[in-house]
A and B are shown apart, each in its own frame.
Chain A
């Protein structure tokens, strides 16, 4: 096993992307994800890859669209306000069934907001982010190692299903340093892409990458087909971590940094004799409905811990079909709940169900 090295989460994403065979990166400066671009700027020219600082977020995502059309692994990264600008491109990537990896290291919003960690782009990410019916595969890392692993996974899933994958991290994940192993990452090479626009070499019909379809009957069928694919993804690619859920009276839902804080609170509550567990969705889309549904058979209440005004809580309620009460425990605007706040929420909910 290769040695672990100490890296920032943002750097781990960049290193893992290159390991995954991504030779093209386009970005625009925005805090708190600039280390990704800085890493790419340093490394890409030395390995024959492309680092290009685009004139805008919009240009960056469209450069991604170009490389993806040509069938190569490609990524861009940004933070919340920048991802809003990429929304148009995300919709076109979906409409043209192109694979790409998008990283959102979230900061507090709305508007220009702040630069401290947030999870307030959950709705934007899990519902698509741009116009039209579509999804992205949304991956939520909770450690620097997972930043690296999910980056590789994101490229693979994007290629397999011909769609965008998004790493939905927060400023904490991007900025914090942890030991990480890049060399040990397992990478599946990109599949053949016979649909790509790489030139016909006069040996095949021309390929067209396109999201325009003016006949409504045909556009409807395209949407139906895309959602059939989404169905397969929901069945095969849902990922989550469970922690002490089996006997839990109270189940916490939390992802990213909120899940790490919540884990501490679960341990503290257990010391007090309160049976609490944690379900940490790793894929936010597809949302892991099954473990929540199963937990609702024995748990009396749920708590959604989020760095926003309550977004994932709606998916928890949907997953358990509102059969149990779901309480929100949150901070917003760049603030992070501490374990005591989560513990207080657990005690309060426990008092209500005792």
Chain B
């Protein structure tokens, strides 16, 4: 029995992510799910602009690099090009999905576009060197909020799952995290459901993964995982925010 194997859907190359960054974990979970569902050959992934911009070099399926924030629109095009034969996922950070690409996100959700969205929320712009994100916490010190995020000047962090759950459209919204083994297992379950929903034609499924950025948070990897627990999760509670099929079943 194999104790450890690299998923086939993940290419065996070194990732460029910083030590302690949780992108590697989430990449692996997505790849494992693609393997387990046997969909690699028909999957097309959309990489964002941000730290995971080069995700196209890591996933073994066909990949597209989208303009900043536009991944859900690109995914819409790819999906509609051949809805029966394309499984389409986007992989986006908080700046990409919740700031510059908010319109694309909301409208793809409202249309219940049959795609899967993996949303990495680490409360910061990583690639450009640690600027304030739409999800940066109140008081969080970043390069562009050097005195801490001041809600009087820049408002409050956006809770994407809660906001989207007000829409009638989307099929499935869940927030997970990957700061310990138990949570990683839950995250995988959610990601698998988000892909399975697409296979079943149920529609827009988004999994928000509360993630860490030790480099730009100025913490050790361990401190960063602890900070998820102590500071991120109280503001971003884990859980299922919408599961339309389950709700409809319950109502029957």
Contacts of B106 in A (CB 8 A): 55
**A66 and B75 contacting across the interface, CB-CB below 8 Å:** yes
Contact of A311 with B by CB under 8 A: no
A5 to chain B: closest CB distance in Å? 29
Contact of B165 with A by CB under 8 A: no
Interface size of B by CB at 8 A reads: 37
**Within B53-93, which residues are at the interface with A (CB < 8 Å)?**
53-54, 56-57, 59-67, 70, 73-82, 85-87
Categorize the interface residue count of chain A: 35 or more
**B103 and A52 contacting across the interface, CB-CB below 8 Å:** no
Contacts of A206 in B (CB 8 A): 59-63
Contact of A56 with B by CB under 8 A: yes
Q: A58-B73, A70-B86 are in contact. Are A208 and B64 (CB under 8 A)?
A: yes
Q: Mark B29-57, 1 if CB is under 8 A from A, else 0.
A: 00000000000111110100000011011
**A199 and B80 contacting across the interface, CB-CB below 8 Å:** no
**B78 and A67 contacting across the interface, CB-CB below 8 Å:** yes
How distant is the Cα of A170 from the Cα of B61 in the complex, in angstroms?
Answer: 43
Nearest A-chain residue to B38, judged by Cβ: A202
How distant is the Cα of A74 from the Cα of B81 in the complex, in angstroms?
Answer: 9
Partner of B76, one of A66, A202, A209: A66
Q: A197-B64, A206-B63 are in contact. Are A65 and B70 (CB under 8 A)?
A: yes
Contacts of A212 in B (CB 8 A): 53-54, 65
Contacts of A62 in B (CB 8 A): 66-67, 70, 73-74, 77, 104
How distant is the Cα of A56 from the Cα of B100 in the complex, in angstroms?
Answer: 13
Q: Mark A200-234, 1 if CB is under 8 A from B, else 0.
A: 11110011111110000000000000000000000
Query: Which residues of A are in contact with B by a Cβ distance under 8 Å?
Result: 24, 26, 50, 52, 54-56, 58-60, 62-72, 74, 88-89, 92, 96, 197-203, 206-212
Nearest B-chain residue to A49, judged by Cβ: B80
Contact of B107 with A by CB under 8 A: yes
A155 to chain B: closest CB distance in Å? 15
**B74 and A63 contacting across the interface, CB-CB below 8 Å:** yes
Nearest B-chain residue to A210, judged by Cβ: B65
Q: A59-B73, A67-B80 are in contact. Are A199 and B61 (CB under 8 A)?
A: yes
Contacts of B76 in A (CB 8 A): 52, 59, 63, 66
**A89 and B78 contacting across the interface, CB-CB below 8 Å:** no
Contacts of A68 in B (CB 8 A): 77
**A52 and B65 contacting across the interface, CB-CB below 8 Å:** no
**B78 and A69 contacting across the interface, CB-CB below 8 Å:** yes
How distant is the Cα of A52 from the Cα of B79 in the complex, in angstroms?
Answer: 13
Partner of A59, one of B70, B86, B87: B70
**B53 and A66 contacting across the interface, CB-CB below 8 Å:** no
Contacts of A52 in B (CB 8 A): 76, 80
Partner of A210, one of B43, B61, B64, B78: B64
How distant is the Cα of A207 from the Cα of B62 in the complex, in angstroms?
Answer: 5
Partner of A197, one of B53, B54, B63: B63
How distant is the Cα of A210 from the Cα of B62 in the complex, in angstroms?
Answer: 11
Partner of B67, one of A89, A198, A203: A89
Contacts of B59 in A (CB 8 A): 206
How distant is the Cα of A171 from the Cα of B163 in the complex, in angstroms?
Answer: 41
Q: Show 20 A/B contacts (Cβ-Cβ < 8 Å), sorted by A.
A: A52-B80, A56-B103, A65-B70, A65-B77, A66-B75, A66-B81, A67-B77, A69-B44, A69-B77, A74-B77, A92-B66, A96-B65, A197-B64, A199-B61, A200-B62, A208-B62, A208-B64, A209-B64, A212-B53, A212-B65
**A24 and B80 contacting across the interface, CB-CB below 8 Å:** yes
Q: A54-B73, A211-B65 are in contact. Are A201 and B78 (CB under 8 A)?
A: no
A319 to chain B: closest CB distance in Å? 35
**B61 and A24 contacting across the interface, CB-CB below 8 Å:** no
**B107 and A199 contacting across the interface, CB-CB below 8 Å:** no
Contacts of B62 in A (CB 8 A): 197-200, 206-208
B106 to chain A: closest CB distance in Å? 8
Nearest A-chain residue to B67, judged by Cβ: A92
